[in-house]
Structure 1
Amino acid sequence: MSQIKGEFKVELTPLETNLHCEGGMQSGRMAISKVFSGELSATSKGEMLSCMTAQKGSAGYVAIEQVSGTLDGKQGSFVLQHFGLMDKGNQRQLLEVIPDSGTGELKSLKGQMRIEITNGKHFYQFNYTL
């Protein structure tokens, strides 16, 4: 298993949603656009659905994003699936490469990514096998 780390920039654009949460909850749908730097030199596009509860710091989201570029010198693309929960501020997040979603030199890619936000900057840690 290889591990790389780097930074990414993200842009979220609100989209119209048909998801309607009740009981003081707010739903959302966003377009995701990212630029990764480091050993993962890539861009991505995706969509996210979210629901924020009436309890401050409690929410959930799911997302799919296609990442295209170069991973450790190998060209191709892959799809990441996101699952995230916040329970009164305590976070749990899983980002995993969808099996058999790799293309080009990344065809056999498997892996998990972690995201960390520090001082407003976004960082990734990607554990993967090819």
Structure 2
Amino acid sequence: MKITGIFNVTMSPLQAYAEGKDEISLGRMGLDKIYQGELDAVGQGEMLSAMTAVKGSAGYVAIEQITGVLCGKKGAFVVQHYGQMHQGDQSLVIDIVPDSGSGELTGIAGTMSITVNEGQHIYELEFSFPQATSGSC
């Protein structure tokens, strides 16, 4: 199954454990998201980032728990983010953490992608359940 919707995100600086050295800036942020559409949920998590001295080169990882309703099913699941920029070229992988689903979302598996279009954050979630047939919400 595949769905698309929008979300809003608020990022809040958190106390970093480590400091960057040699022109590397390390950061730690709290994430608060509100998802709209077939995924009606909130997401909370933390992000770690590294900015290099080269403009447009950076990396981040994040863990986010999403809680709410997905296609009429209540529960929660966790996504893991892995993103990089190399002189402006971006790559991003967001996977649902295996066995992280709870409630009616137990067994969920899949991936998420994020795009930003004129300041609007858009998600696409492709997912499945072990007992489900293919289709849409």
TM-score by length of 1: 0.97
1:105-120 map, 5 Å: 105-120=104-119
Supply the AA of the counterpart residue of 1:95: I
In the TM superposition, structure 1's runs of 4+ consecutive aligned residues that sit over 3 Å from their partners are none
**Is residue 59 of structure 2 the alignment partner of residue 54 of structure 1?**
no
Supply the AA of the counterpart residue of 2:69: T
CA distance in 1, matches of 2:19, 2:114: 28
Residue aligned with 1:106, SS: coil
**Is residue 6 of structure 2 the alignment partner of residue 7 of structure 1?**
yes
CA distance in 2, matches of 1:19, 1:29: 9
CA distance in 1, matches of 2:110, 2:18: 30
Name the structure with the higher strand share.
Answer: 1
How far off its partner does 1:93 sit? 0.4
CA distance in 2, matches of 1:52, 1:118: 23
Q: Which residue of 2 aligns with 1:98?
A: 97
Residue aligned with 1:43, SS: strand
Structure 2 unpaired stretches of 5+: 130-137
How far off its partner does 1:40 sit? 0.4
Q: Greater Rg, structure 1 or structure 2?
A: 2
Supply the AA of the counterpart residue of 1:78: F
Structure 1 unpaired stretches of 5+: none
1:1-130 map, 5 Å: 2-130=1-129
CA distance in 2, matches of 1:83, 1:111: 15
CA distance in 2, matches of 1:103, 1:113: 18
TM-score by length of 2: 0.93
CA distance in 1, matches of 2:118, 2:35: 18
Supply the AA of the counterpart residue of 2:13: P
CA distance in 1, matches of 2:20, 2:109: 34
